[in-house]
Amino acid sequence: MNIKKIIGKEFIFFDGAMGTMLQQAGLPIGELPESFNISYPEVIYDIHKKYIDAGADVITTNTFGANEYKLKDLPYSVEQIISKAVSIARDAAGNKLVALDIGPIGQLMEPIGTLKFDEAYEIFKRQIKAGETAGADLILIETISDLYEAKAAILAAKENCSLPVFCTMTFQQNGRTLTGTDPTTMVHVLEGLGIDALGINCSLGPKEIKPIIEKILKISTVPVIVQPNAGLPKLKEGKTVFDLTPEVFSEEIKNMAQMGISIIGGCCGTNPDFIKKAKKYLEGLYPIKLNNKKLTTVCSSTKTIVIGNDIKIIGERINPTGKKKLKEALRNNNLDYILSEAIKQKEAGADILDVNIGLPEINEKEMMPKIIKEIQGIVDIPLQIDSTNTDTIEAAVRVFNGKPLINSVNGKTESMKSIFPIVKKYGACVIGLTLDENGIPKKAEERAAIAEKIINTASSYGIPKENILIDCLVLTASAQQEEVMETLKAIKLVKDRFDVKTTLGVSNVSFGLPQRKIINRTFLAMALSFGLDAPIIDPLLESNLETIHTFNVLANHDKDAQNFINIYRNDSKKEEPKKLEAKKNLKQIIIDGIKDEAAQKTKELLNSITPLEIVNNYLVPALDLVGNKYEKEEIFLPQLIRSAETVKASFEVIKEHLLKEGKSNISKGKILLATVKGDIHDIGKNIVKVLLENYGFDVLDLGKDVPIEEVVEQTKAHDIKLVGLSALMTTTVKNMEQTIKAIRENHIHCYIMVGGAVLNQEYADMIGADFYAKDARESVTIAQKVFQ
């Protein structure tokens, strides 16, 4: 039986539940069922055999949790369990097929949990290699909730074996997986990764699955699998029960078969009867061929952006070109600044964010994946990975959780050769620039010709044109005025001829001219009317958004101008900048804790007094006052922190001012902070950070769950004098101890302060710290002592 040949043409039946059958066979719960392959092979064989007799075409090995993490307390290796499990199934299968079952690892991946993408990949790789060696016919990755985990597993399968790969995810009644992925996003991402079949299993009964499967069937271009539970699980007297009969189950399956699914099986609560019945109900029927049209989409893990319906905004602000502050942030590893840029753009209405960190002094290939992970942990819109370095692009695309947009490929043979394999492998979208070895052609016709070359070459790699956005390139009106219109004509040509979507870096047009905003706004409007789908712009500029919102009304995208009315109905107030209460001074603003006012007031003050005067006359006294109130329990932590954040806002303004004047910082010293390896509590550390910053210290924040080596490396690299470590669990304090040990063993001369709920002075001494900070205020005192 060659599954690749029949898939989608005949119904393929998988088996039903393994766990349910094991329990019925009386095996103890709480033990890892994978160990039964070794201890009770005959029971496992029996179960497989029953499913084969019931008519299953494919049986699934008893290896759901056979990964090195779950097996770590068993005396058997992953390879032992898997090879045994496959051989039992093989014996039972006869001429039917054996699917290597791969379930979730049992750990949540970062940033939700602590499991790294690469670690997950390695865990899956080991299972897959063992499975192929043992003779499995296909890989079934199932019951996955986290799209990111699915991606790690699929990549591991694709890169390490040649078997067909199926993947099913598990959804809740709200139509999303536990980590928030919707069915549409799942389809776009998994299809991109080159899966042979995809679908849903577990969690729900067939009735509840139906509306979700409907969405999948509307867009999927690969065969769809369904393996429901025997009904919605219900808690009865403290036990989980499933209440569908094989008949009702099969009726529902038949229903879904008529909608378009072609691969069928059962999950929790099902048994051979269910498979037998389902097969009977489908006798004489054949799967419906899915004829879905491909769309141009990019996805985060929880959101799909379809390009081409209305205008989509690509935010351009994370790009150091011409941005002093971002450059500074990148050099100092100040990820918070980058994150705040991401958040601001998203809140302003960006649909996709461009991420470019190209600075000569930065190791882009290392930094880019790190930043991508940080941003995708906070912001839920898709990212556009922007780099001139192929390795950087691949590293970033690999760890991106979703379907990314790559910026960019161009018509040069070399560029296409290096970028297209990445686009194909990771199922990304890519921006194609209309330039080649001869540069940017003057005429629209010539640019369209390059676009055609890009589209055709992509197709030879198996990349559909729907995954390409053409950028017809903007030249500056100040230098090449006569070519501005050519860009616009090219957009129209490209769209008409090749039916592809387009993007454009709009603001280039105004370089070298005054009042760039005005030029940009008008050019944007022109480009949109020529058919631009996804402009790359600064979404924080009101003028850009106004143009787009207006265009959406005039182009009949925004039906009944609903969105426009929502936004602009009450806009009269927005026009006037907020007036400050003139009497309120900065000190009072800080005590009240109002960030925006603090920033504005500081700007005002900078006109009349020096930064140092602001710090000494306003910030420090306000901080002292607030600190005293906190100590006396007149105010509490939330208020203390609010004031601290207000001071920070004021500091930001001062720093920016100094940067503009070309003066150096007023830093009192640099402190490294980290929540130790294994620990993920970072609120406490964040509080310490903001207080230290308030008192004029620079903080290099490594985040949470920080590997020991990284603390050592960064302490060295930045010549840190004071390191602050935090741990909140009895179980992670040991990692704190090891981190301290590693710093000492590397002969780094620095002081170490520690803090966290489970620590005290005694313990701090014992693990070799120099200081114990009982709270955030104490850490300031320590820092002041160290940097005196």
**Contacting positions for other proteins (CB under 8 A):** 19, 28-32, 104, 106-108, 111-114, 143, 145, 170, 172, 174, 178-180, 202, 233, 235, 237-240, 336, 339-340, 343, 377-378, 592-593, 633, 635-639, 641-642, 644-645, 678-680, 682-683, 686-687, 690, 729-732, 735, 757-758, 760
Q: With respect to other proteins, which residue has the nearer C-beta, 179 or 296? A: 179
For residue 314, give Cα distances in angstroms to 318, 617, 769.
11, 43, 47
What residue has token string 């039986």? 1
Closest to other proteins by CB, 178 vs 742, is: 178
* Least distance (Å) between residue 342 CB and other proteins: 9
Q: Which lies closer to other proteins via its Cβ, residue 211 or residue 464?
A: 211
Encoding tokens for residue 531? 């058919």
The angle at the Cα of 532, spanning 529 to 538, to the nearest 5 degrees, equals 105
User: Partners of 225 in the beta sheet?
Assistant: 199, 263
Cβ closer to other proteins: 44 or 635?
635
SS3 448: helix
Residue closest to 84 by CA, chosen among 51, 54, 61, 117? 61
Nearer to other proteins by Cβ, of 153 and 644: the residue is: 644
Classify 155 as helix, strand or coil: helix
Q: Nearest approach, Cβ of 33 to other proteins (angstroms)?
A: 10
Task: Label the pairing between strands 722-726 and 234-236.
Answer: unpaired
Nearer to other proteins, 562 or 760 (CB): 760
Please state the closest distance from residue 593 (CB atom) to other proteins, in A: 7
Nearer to other proteins, 159 or 634 (CB): 634
Query: Which of 328/592 has CB closer to other proteins?
Result: 592
**What does DSSP assign to residue 116?**
-
Nearer residue to other proteins within complex by CB, 42 or 237: 237
Smallest gap from residue 671 Cβ to other proteins (A): 17
Q: C-beta of 757: minimal distance to other proteins in Å?
A: 4
Give one DSSP letter per residue of 634-650, joined into a string: SS-HHHHHHHHHHHHHH
Please list, in sequence order, all residues whose beta carbon lies within 8 angstroms of the beta carbon of residue 697, skipping any fewer than 6 positions away: 667, 668, 669, 670, 671, 783, 787
Distance CA 98, CA 58 (A): 6
Task: Specify burial of residue 569 (Cβ count, 10 A radius: 0-12, 13-18, 19+).
Answer: exposed
CB of 339 to other proteins, least distance (A): 5
| DSSP-derived pairing of the beta strands 304-306 and 297-299 | antiparallel
Per the CB < 8 A criterion, the answer to whether 137 and 99 are in contact is yes
* Range 611-619, long-range pairs (CB < 8 A, 24+ positions): 611/654, 611/657, 611/658, 611/666, 612/666, 614/586, 614/650, 614/654, 615/654, 615/666, 615/696, 618/585, 618/586, 618/587, 618/590, 618/650, 619/586, 619/590, 619/647, 619/650, 619/651, 619/694
Closest CA to 788 of 722, 728, 712: 722
CB of 16 to other proteins, least distance (A): 16
Q: How far is the CB of 191 from other proteins (least distance, A)?
A: 24
Name the strand (E) or helix (H) holding 258: helix 246-259
Q: How far is the CB of 333 from other proteins (least distance, A)?
A: 15
Residue (286 or 636) nearer to other proteins, CB: 636
Q: Classify residue 509 by its DSSP letter.
A: G
Instruction: Give min distance, CB of 690 to other proteins, in A.
Output: 6
Spatial strand order of the sheet with 58-60 comes to 12-13, 263-264, 224-227, 197-201, 165-169, 138-144, 97-102, 58-60
The minimum distance between CB 421 and other proteins, in angstroms, equals 33
Least spacing, CB of residue 681 vs other proteins, in Å: 8
Give the residue with the Cβ less far from other proteins, 235 or 479.
235
First to last CA, the chain: 77
For the residues of 537-586, what is the DSSP string, one character each?
Answer: E-TT-HHHHHHHHHHHHHTT-SGGGHHHHHHHTTTHHHHSPPPP-TT--H
Comparison of 53 and 118: residue with beta carbon closer to other proteins = 118
| Residue 564 burial class via C-beta count within 10 angstroms: exposed 0-12, middle 13-18, buried 19 and up | middle
Shortest spacing between CB 736 and other proteins, in angstroms: 12
**Smallest separation (angstroms) from other proteins to the CB of 709:** 18
Comparing CB distances to other proteins, the nearer of 483 and 679 is: 679
Identify any residues that bridge with 58 across adjacent strands, giving them in sequence order. 14, 97
CB 301 within 8 A of CB 376: yes
CB of 652 to other proteins, least distance (A): 13
Residue 375 in contact with residue 342, Cβ under 8 Å?
yes
Residue 372 is which amino acid? I
Is 269 within 8 Å of 230 (Cβ atoms)?
yes
Nearer to other proteins, 237 or 661 (CB): 237
Omega of the bond prior to 611 within 30 degrees of 0, cis? no
Nearer to other proteins, 147 or 524 (CB): 147
Closest CB to other proteins among residues 399, 687: 687
Shortest Å distance, C-beta 338 to other proteins: 10
